[in-house]
Amino acid sequence: MIVEDKVIVELKSVENVTGAHKKQVQTYLKLTGQKLGFLLNFNTELIKDGITRVVNGLEE
């Protein structure tokens, strides 16, 4: 059995990541049927501080 899971990656360079940005990734996940997405904000000192994980089908 071959399973093709993909990851959605949304790139941003904004002062602050808002709920609207997270909802945008959630919408992409729902429309594509994928389960995992990342929101990467490059406007941070450390890139690890700009990574937000978004999962389709789980409550926050």
Using CA atoms of 45, 46, 50, 55 in order, give the dihedral in degrees to the nearest 10.
180
Count CB atoms within 10 A of the CB of residue 23: 11
| pLDDT at position 5 | 81
β-sheet bridge partners, residue 52: 39
Domain extents in the chain: 7-55
Identify the band that residue 3 occupies on the pLDDT scale cut at 50, 70 and 90.
low
pLDDT digits (tens, 9 = 90+) for 13-58: 999 999 999 999 999 999 999 999 999 999 999 999 999 999 998 6
